[in-house]
Each structure stands twice: as C-alpha cells, then as structure tokens.
Structure 1
C-alpha cells in the first residue's frame, strides 16, 4: 500500500461551523493522521497523511465539509510522506 501526504486549503464558509471538529472526526474514522487549523484569511488548512485511498477519501470529504459549512474550493498539493501516524488533531492559532 502506498502512503500519501497532502496539504489542503479549504475555502468558503468553513470557520465557526464545526469544520475543524468534523474534519478531525472524519480523518480519525478513516485512519488519517495530521492536523487541521483555521487561517487568518478565513480558510482552513489541513495537513494529513495516511494510506493513499484514505487520504483521497478525506480529500473528497473536504470538498463537502461539515453540515453547516459551505465549501467553495479546495486547493491542495502532495508532499513527501514522512511516515507520521496517530490521530489528526486540531491546532489553534493561525
């Protein structure tokens, strides 16, 4: 199985709508590690790593987001996997 690591910026109404918490829950159900945090420009930044299919599933979920979110765009790029494991966590501060 191949590992994948992505850095994604989620645009739209994604702050103050439980987006980070829902992302944390979805990632942990999928077995994806990393972190999620709000950015000062109103976007949400997600850095995650896991099996390629699991990361792809989280990326697809990010385009929809939490029930109260309104995602307009997700920009992302791949990075070199570092072999990190563990739960995805919420980071605070921009």
Structure 2
C-alpha cells in the first residue's frame, strides 16, 4: 500500500468501516453518538504518509478497534506540525498496543 486512499480501501475490506473523528479527549464516530475514550479502544495498526516536498502533506492513518462497542474503523490525522492538540491520555491511547 503506497497511498492514503489505497490504505483506507484495504482497511475497509478488512472490516475497518467506521469513520472516527478526533477530539481532545475521545474519538467520535460519524453517523452515531458513540464516543470512544482511551480505555475503550486499541490501535491495531498505523500507517504514516509523507508528502514528496511539503511537510503539510504528512498524515497518519490509524486502524482502531473497540471490543466494548464491537466496532472497527479508521482515523486520519495530520502528522508533525499539522497534528491536532490532544490530551496526554489520547496520545498514549493512539500508540499501537496489543489488544
């Protein structure tokens, strides 16, 4: 997988169908009222993408699962200077760890 769109398509085929949005203290799920706090999910995989010449093109894709909500999805965020400000708990939770 070499592009962001290829990675997202592959993850969707693997069951990562939810679209997560990032808040300072939790993840919200597009299309429903579910909020995932750090203890509610794990990062199964992550993929980093760098633009050829512009640091603003950097992004990271997280493949996230929640056993509590029986939910799998992806989160796309800027990387480096374009990343969102997060609480320490969210930063720790977004590190890949065993389920």
TM-score (norm 2): 0.26
Higher strand share: 1
**Structure with bigger gyration radius:** 2
Say which structure, 1 or 2, has more relative contact order (CA 8 Å, 6+ apart).
1
TM-score (norm 1): 0.26
